[in-house]
Structure 1
Amino acid sequence: MTPDTAPASQRVERYAADGMVRVDGLLTSGEVETIRSAFMDQVVRDRHRLGARDGLADDDILARFPRFMQPHRHPDLEVGSIARRLMTDRRILDIVTGLIGPAFGAQSMFYFKPPSARGQALHQDNYFLRAHPETCVAAWIAIDDCDAANGALSVVPGSHTMEVVCPETADDEESFTTGLVRPPAGMTPVQTVMRAGDVLFFHGSLVHGSLPNTTEDRFRMSLIFHYVPQTSVEIARWYLPLVAPDGSDVTVAAAVGGGPCGDGWSGAAH
């Protein structure tokens, strides 16, 4: 995938066409090392406080290194302070604002993805967030150099134009999550290669995912934020409260109903 080398004024056009833009070196090597060290310290000290309950077997490597959900809601922890600060960092938020207008922060996540870990099947983010009437946008920050071998993202350029759909069942040999969204006809996943500190911004309907980490000694850590336009009138309850650019909490209506899977659906957090 070609990185974003165009002037900032042209990012909107690329985002509209592809559903994503990549900005290289947005975070410094020093910032990346601080993030990596803090999150590794936290997972070793207490992985349960922030770790997602993904129904993993005790011998699954991801049970030892679970993805951390909403660390920005824990400002008493170093990782929480880092996540809260970066969620409203102007370098990131200004790009988000340029793409979707004034925005609120909705989610923070940290993935460790150690050697041998399964990936995450192709999916769409707004299936989980259910932001309305617009959609969310992700800021996916590489904390390690990542490529196909250690399970970097695969993305489907242009797939952001499709509706959010109800997923099929994923292959649990390759994915630790259960849902799979197939790309639209004629579109295929493109493997990304990113350096630590690069950030990929992408649309909430963009189909994306990752394969397992097949290396023996390389993590693929990433810090992810999701944002929604300030014009959003509702979002799934789990993402409330939202975070304003000044760091204060904001509440909108909680989304109701079954979403793309119908009235019987009850979605879990992304």
Structure 2
Amino acid sequence: MTTSSDTGTRTPGITVSSPETTDLRAGYDKDGVVQVPNLLSATEVATIRAAFMDRVAVDHSLAINDGVPEDDVLARFPRFVHPHRRPDLEVGKLALDYLLDPRIFGIVTTLIGPPLGAQSMFYFKPPGARGQALHQDNTFLRAHPETCIAAWIAIDDVDADNGGLAIVPGSHRTELVCPEPADLGESFTNAQVPVPDGLSTVQTVMKAGDVLFFHGSVVHGSRSNTSQDRFRRSLIFHYIPESSVEIAAFYHPLVHPDRRDVFIAEATGGGPCGDLLDGMDA
């Protein structure tokens, strides 16, 4: 489904809508995913891209250890996790500012009600990098009783060739599925879930500055970046409803829109799928 607010080529099969239209909430309720074009300007995207590229060239202190071999391209460009917790750094200030940016925060509020910020991430995904097997974010965040929502910001133009997300519309109506081992030749994480019966994947097509919002139970992942010279960088945020009563400890402290820290009960155990490594969502 697309709307008259579309600009250029965007993802077929999901709602593409401006923030002001009723299609936004209707599309999210129907598919669990909506795409908002041009939410960030070209100048903003260029600033974010340059800051994170400068940081990764000299410092990996924000990186999570994904256990990739030293000769893997992802060892040089590891994903950064929770940069918003380092506002003393340029990348941290940018992450915190955009986590709470009224344009993004306002859409999240429209879709799930008053939210709290739970996570920031930056993926570099250079040419040759493996993708990430299909998964569901709330398997890891374990927000309860409601789920999380992602705001996935394209920092480069995105398509199949450079490893853009594949997403399964309608899978937000399914239960969390316990992951099985993934093909490590295709995925840098060793966990995958199957596409639910009767549903199918849709390949995203995004322009830099577009934002994809999707429900924590939506099945999604990506293939390898098979392009010769195109990164697929993305800045990703996760939010949970302010009414949530627990979340996995990895995501504390949560961030209130007034920038103060918020703590709720810690989800105990491994959730519905046993013991899983926190912080592995994307």
CA deviation after TM superposition for structure 1 residue 8, in Å: 2.8
Which of 225, 235, 239 aligns to 2:251? It is 239
Which of 86, 96, 106 aligns to 1:94? It is 106
Match of 2:199 in 1: 187
Residues in 1 aligned to 2:260 and 2:158: alpha-carbon distance in whole angstroms: 33
1:29-178 to 2 correspondence within 5 Å? 29-47=42-60, 49-178=61-190
TM-superposition CA deviations, 1:102-130 (whole Å, max 9, x none): 00000000000000000000000000100
Question: Unmatched 5+ residue regions in structure 2?
Answer: 1-10
1:14 maps to amino acid: G
Match of 2:31 in 1: 18
Q: Are 1:257 and 2:269 matched, yes or no?
A: yes
2:202 maps to amino acid: V
CA deviation after TM superposition for structure 1 residue 65, in Å: 0.1
Residues in 1 aligned to 2:175 and 2:235: alpha-carbon distance in whole angstroms: 26
Alpha-carbon RMSD: 1.0
Q: Are 1:210 and 2:222 matched, yes or no?
A: yes
Contact 2:163 2:226 in 1 (8 A): yes
Residues in 1 aligned to 2:158 and 2:110: alpha-carbon distance in whole angstroms: 26
1:118 maps to amino acid: R
Residues in 1 aligned to 2:21 and 2:89: alpha-carbon distance in whole angstroms: 34
CA deviation after TM superposition for structure 1 residue 246, in Å: 1.2
CA deviation after TM superposition for structure 1 residue 12, in Å: 1.4
Residues in 2 aligned to 1:15 and 1:23: alpha-carbon distance in whole angstroms: 11
User: 4+ residue stretches of structure 1 with deviation over 3 A?
Assistant: none
The TM-score, its normalising length taken from structure 2, stands at 0.93
Residues in 2 aligned to 1:154 and 1:29: alpha-carbon distance in whole angstroms: 24
1:268 maps to amino acid: D
Match of 1:269 in 2: 279
Residues in 1 aligned to 2:242 and 2:17: alpha-carbon distance in whole angstroms: 28
Residues in 1 aligned to 2:17 and 2:46: alpha-carbon distance in whole angstroms: 25
* Percent identity of paired positions between Structure 1 and Structure 2: 62
CA deviation after TM superposition for structure 1 residue 137, in Å: 0.2
CA deviation after TM superposition for structure 1 residue 169, in Å: 0.6
CA deviation after TM superposition for structure 1 residue 258, in Å: 2.2
Residues in 1 aligned to 2:229 and 2:174: alpha-carbon distance in whole angstroms: 37
Structure 2 counterpart SS, 1:168? coil
Match of 2:7 in 1: none
CA deviation after TM superposition for structure 1 residue 198, in Å: 0.1
Q: Mean Cα displacement is larger for which, 55-64 or 4-13?
A: 4-13
Q: How many residues align?
A: 267
Contact 2:124 2:232 in 1 (8 A): yes
Residues in 1 aligned to 2:102 and 2:76: alpha-carbon distance in whole angstroms: 33
Contact 2:17 2:24 in 1 (8 A): no
The TM-score, its normalising length taken from structure 1, stands at 0.97
Question: Unmatched 5+ residue regions in structure 1?
Answer: none
CA deviation after TM superposition for structure 1 residue 266, in Å: 3.7
1:151 maps to amino acid: G
Residues in 1 aligned to 2:59 and 2:267: alpha-carbon distance in whole angstroms: 32
TM-superposition CA deviations, 1:20-72 (whole Å, max 9, x none): 1100000000000000000000000112x011100110000000000000000
Which of 236, 242, 248 aligns to 1:230? It is 242
Q: Mean Cα displacement is larger for which, 186-195 or 132-141?
A: 186-195
Structure 1 counterpart SS, 2:237? strand
